[in-house]
Chains A and B, each alone.
Chain A
Amino acid sequence: MTASFKSPAEPKLNNLDLAPSSEPGISGDLLEVAMGPHHPSTHGVFRMDIVLDGERVIRLKPVFGYLHRNHEKIAENITYIASMPYTDRLDYICSLTNNWAYALAVEKLVGLEVPERAEYLRIILGELTRFQNHASTIGFLIQEMGASGTPLMYAFREREKILDLFESLTGSRMMCNYMRFGGCRVDPSAEWLDQVRKVVAGLPAFTDEIDRLLTSNEILMARTQGIGILPPDLAVNAGITGPMLRASGVNYDIRKIDSYGIYNRFTFRVPLGERGDVYDRYMIRLLEMRESIRILEQALKNVPGGPIVDPKSKIRGFRPKPGEAYGRIEAPKGELGFYLISDGGPNPYRYRVRPPSLVNLTILEDMCLGAAVADVVIIFGSVDIVLGEVDR
């Protein structure tokens, strides 16, 4: 069953009057199931109100807000730089790309130039973040299919090495708080860069290992192929971004389109899917990991010296002139954007996060309609969300 664009007027959940089952030869009632908020597959506190006809999903409504703390309101009441550590807590798997997106938006608002060395560091840290995010997403996805342990532990073993790098540079494994407006916070030593080279040299072997272990695995193929299909026109219309969009065959990677930072200096390909099913989404992540390694290898070859922060950038008395700016990057989960309006004060007048995780859930129902309830778990897992970012 392919999903189609639904325009208005959905019957409400509680209007279901004992409709007859569509399964031939079986009579029965529809069953309403609240999946979550404390369901192990929901990656946090998230609920799906599902209506089942036997084993088939006929309605699915996501319910949000369990982790809502009004991040945007907090940011309007503190200075610009004080929001930087808060952005770590959005998508807590990828704090460095969150930092980057926010720094980019402020740089657009103020007009700061990022020094060469800082651009290289951002690329290196951003791609390491993408690699570990995709690795753990694949791990979780396979875990949700019932392969308890092995793939996830393999992924976490590799992620651990990357988190160690983050820790030795920024002081924290997950809440890195590393980027600054117009640059980065601390200058890494030559030893740290050597350490990164060593870790990156080991990544292709890991990717091959995952590839050999999973890609042609019969159970994985049986569970994921043809499941949760997302047609490309719907994907674009619903604002889907990141690996989800590219798995549907739409060539749209913000690293190529906007070439923010210095991405235009590196050669890498944008992997595209054909069918837009769960298997394609798995495959795209694996291929993107390989491209990340390529970018890392190129970037690590010649990290230039020099300052790591724009001398015009200041921490104290930072008051951007009135105006607004929207900055976006290709975060591992999709387009992460920050929209800022300044009224000339020390705090942003309006601070908006464009969360890829939330927008990517728009079509969750369309992908799940007609699927078996067991497939909902893996379709949802293939979206790759973090609730810290969905609920903000």
Chain B
Amino acid sequence: MKTIEEIKAAIEAAVPGAGVEVVVNPSPCAQHSLRLDPDSALAVARFLRDDPELALDFLSNVTGVDWPDREISEKVKVARTVAKTVDGVEQQVEETVDEIRKRVEPGCLEAVYHLYSVVRKHGPVVIRMRTGNRTDRVELPSLTPVWRSGEFQEREIFDLFGIVFNGHPDLRRILMWDNFKDHPMRRDYVEPDDYEYEPTAHDAVLAKAQAHRAAAQAGAKGQEGAGAAQ
């Protein structure tokens, strides 16, 4: 089988302008992957399936991954002038100090596809795509028109992660019920604290429900207050 670099070269030769990037996997199994540009992903997927040498006709697994916003703190050396008393005389002295700077790396949602070839009996080739962010730019092209085995798996990712697959024939919730809000597999998903509603709540559930009610009332009052201030 071709190496990941060769596959990348083949894709770039076949689909001009396809932004393909190799993602190195440091684990011992060394299953490296290719990050595709969502705009050209469908064309690349068709190429991967139809190219006689690669012939990746079998989509095994589709996975969603959530990468929330990450706060990264870095140590930076900063030069600054400070007033110091040297030998009894006050002077302006230059010195470098460590300063911790924080920045936020924006998060995204990712879909990972594991491809194999039934004809050529090789694999896996891993391809992945990232959404623009986690809130309003969560659309990716669906690869179900190329490999039908994505049908239920992409629906599952739509359901649990909230990635919207454009071009999917039947994009509905699959495991959660239709009226369910939110996406439970996201890292920052908070389970509603009154979802265990039962008519005669007791013990831990009662405590949770009371706390929930108190918080909800406080929240309502807080909102009223804010409205009045405006």
Residue positions of A touching B, CB distance < 8 A: 5-10, 64-65, 68, 70, 72-73, 108-111, 234, 236-240, 250, 252, 257, 320-328, 335, 337, 339, 341-342, 350, 352, 354, 358-359, 361-363, 391-392
Contacts and interface: CB of A to CB of B under 8 A. Distances in A.
Given A68-B176, A350-B63, 7 more contacts: A8-B167, A8-B168, A64-B174, A109-B27, A320-B27, A325-B25, A352-B61
A354 B26 contact: no
Contacts of B114: 326, 337, 339, 354
B124 interface: yes
B152 A359 contact: yes
B174 A65 contact: yes
Contact of B148 (A339, A358, A362): A362
B158 interface: no
Given A8-B145, A362-B149, A321 B26 contact: yes
Contacts of B184: 70, 73
Contacts of A321: 26-27
Given A65-B175, A68-B175, A257-B121, A237 B60 contact: no
B33 to A, nearest CB: 8
B26 A323 contact: yes
B206 interface: no
Contacts of A110: 27-28
Contacts of B167: 8
Contacts of B177: 65
The 10 closest A-B pairs by CB, nearest first: A239-B149, A323-B27, A111-B28, A8-B169, A108-B29, A354-B61, A65-B175, A238-B148, A68-B175, A352-B63
A1 B6 CA distance: 43
Contact of B152 (A257, A342, A350, A358): A358
Q: Per DSSP, are chain B's interface residues mostly helix, strand or loop, or mixed?
A: loop
A7 B174 contact: no
A250 B27 contact: no
Contacts of A237: 57, 147-149
A70 B185 CA distance: 8
B43 interface: no
Interface residues of B, number: 39
Interface in B164-210: 167-170, 174-177, 184-185
Given A68-B176, A350-B65, A108 B185 contact: no
B145 A7 contact: yes
B100 interface: no
Contact of B175 (A9, A341, A391): A391
Contacts of B60: 239, 328, 335, 337, 354
Given A72-B185, A237-B149, A342 B27 contact: yes
Nearest to A257: B121
B118 A236 contact: yes
Contacts of B61: 326, 328, 337, 339, 352, 354
Contact of A108 (B28, B121, B168, B174): B28
B169 A362 contact: no
Contacts of A70: 160, 175, 184-185
A10 B172 CA distance: 13
A286 B215 CA distance: 61
B57 A326 contact: no
Interface string B138-167: 000000010111111100100010000001
A109 B31 CA distance: 10
B58 A322 contact: no
B129 interface: no
A7 B28 contact: no
Contacts of B150: 239
Given A10-B170, A239-B58, A362 B151 contact: yes
